[in-house]
Each structure stands twice: as structure tokens, then as C-alpha cells.
């Protein structure tokens, strides 16, 4: 298998496909695609401006969009999850399961147990970061009949 980084045209491929902005500002190195960065910045700042200047109508629109997506695309979400599950099972039970992601002579950096522990910790960490904020905010929400009873009051 040929090493892509050492290929004579490896740098040419990237420069042919997109233009990059590269600069160095002291210890900070900038390296990005200006078209993508500007388009993303305009979209994000436009959305934020819309949400800040007209929060009531934005909230109404987001609620109706969420209801529409839930009503029309729940089947798609369930289908995609099932397709991924079938794909993962096919890969697991096929010959592809024995492929190495490194060189043939390299030993794995981590054991299977360590990988499982890292993936489990990442999942638990995401749950804690999300629910560590979302759950207290939900319980402290004004107008809830059961608000505050889970957090010591």
C-alpha cells in the first residue's frame, strides 16, 4: 500500500481542489479555506442576528419546524439507525473485521478493554455534560408544578 503523505503529488491534490489561506500571527497558525469559513460565518451570524432581533417569531418558527420534522421524518431516523446497525454487524462478521488500521508490523497502542473504556467514558461524559445542564434547567423552569423538588428545595 502506498503512503499518501509521501506521494509526489500529495500537496498538489489539496491545492488543486481548494484554495487555502495560510498565515502566522505570533504563536497562532491560521490555515483554512476562506470560502467555507466566510460562508459558515455569514450563515451562523445571520441565524444569530435573526434569533436575537425577533425571538418570538423565531421561537414559533423553530417549534413548528421541529414538529414538522418529527411528524415527517421519524421514519427516516429509525430507518437510518437500523441500516447502520445492519452495516456494523455485516462489517463485524465479515473479513473486514480482521483489518488493521496501522502497519502490519505495529502493535495496537491500546488494548480492547482500554478502547471500550474510552468509548464508554466518552458516552458517559457527553451524557453528563448535556444532562448536567439540561436537567436542572428543566426542573427550575418557571410554571412547572414539580419544579425545584429534585434539587434540594
Task: Quote the pLDDT of residue 106.
Answer: 87
Task: For the full predicted model, state whether its pTM sits above 0.85.
Answer: no
Q: Is residue 47 assigned to a domain?
A: no
Q: Is the pLDDT of residue 7 over 70?
A: no
Residue-wise pLDDT for 42-96, tens only, equals: 999 999 999 999 999 999 999 999 999 999 999 998 999 999 999 999 988 998 8
Q: Is residue 29 assigned to a domain?
A: no
Burial 18-55 (b: 16+ CB within 10 A, else e): eeeeeeeeeeeeeeeeeeeeeeeeeeeeeeeeeeeeee
How many distinct structural domains can be found in the chain?
A: 1
Assess contact for 34 and 21: CB atoms under 8 A. yes
* Cell reading at 102: 496501522
**Structural domain harbouring 124:** 113-152
Residue-wise pLDDT for 117-144, tens only, equals: 998 888 888 878 777 777 777 777 666 6
Helices (H), 5-153: 10-17, 34-53, 55-93, 112-139
Q: Is residue 57 assigned to a domain?
A: no
Q: In the structure, what pLDDT confidence band is assigned to residue 6 with cuts at 50, 70 and 90?
A: low
Q: Is the pLDDT of residue 1 over 50?
A: no
Task: Quote the pLDDT of residue 152.
Answer: 47
Q: Distance (Å, rounded) from C-alpha 119 to C-alpha 20?
A: 34
* Cell reading at 126: 457527553
Q: Is residue 21 assigned to a domain?
A: no
Residue-wise pLDDT for 13-49, tens only, equals: 555 566 888 888 889 888 888 899 999 999 999 999 9
| Three-class secondary structure of residue 25 per DSSP | strand
Integer distance in angstroms from the first to the last C-alpha of the chain?
Answer: 64
Task: Quote the pLDDT of residue 56.
Answer: 94
Q: At what angle do helices 34-53 and 55-93 cross, to 10 degrees?
A: 130
Who wins on pLDDT, 132 or 148?
132
Amino acid at each position: 500500500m502506498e503512503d499518501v503523505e509521501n506521494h509526489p503529488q500529495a500537496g498538489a491534490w489539496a491545492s488543486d481542489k481548494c484554495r487555502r489561506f495560510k498565515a502566522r500571527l505570533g504563536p497562532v497558525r491560521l490555515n483554512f479555506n476562506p470560502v467555507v469559513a466566510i460562508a459558515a460565518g455569514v450563515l451562523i451570524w445571520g441565524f444569530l442576528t435573526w434569533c436575537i432581533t425577533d425571538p418570538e417569531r423565531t421561537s414559533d418558527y423553530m417549534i413548528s419546524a421541529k414538529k414538522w420534522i418529527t411528524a415527517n421524518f421519524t421514519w427516516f431516523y429509525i430507518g437510518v439507525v437500523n441500516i447502520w446497525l445492519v452495516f456494523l454487524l455485516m462489517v463485524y462478521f465479515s473479513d473486514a473485521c480482521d483489518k488493521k488500521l496501522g502497519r502490519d508490523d505495529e502493535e495496537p497502542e491500546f488494548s480492547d478493554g482500554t478502547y471500550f473504556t474510552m468509548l464508554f467514558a466518552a458516552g458517559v461524559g457527553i451524557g453528563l455534560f448535556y444532562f448536567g445542564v439540561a436537567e436542572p434547567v428543566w426542573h427550575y423552569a418557571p410554571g412547572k408544578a414539580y419544579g425545584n423538588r429534585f434539587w434540594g428545595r
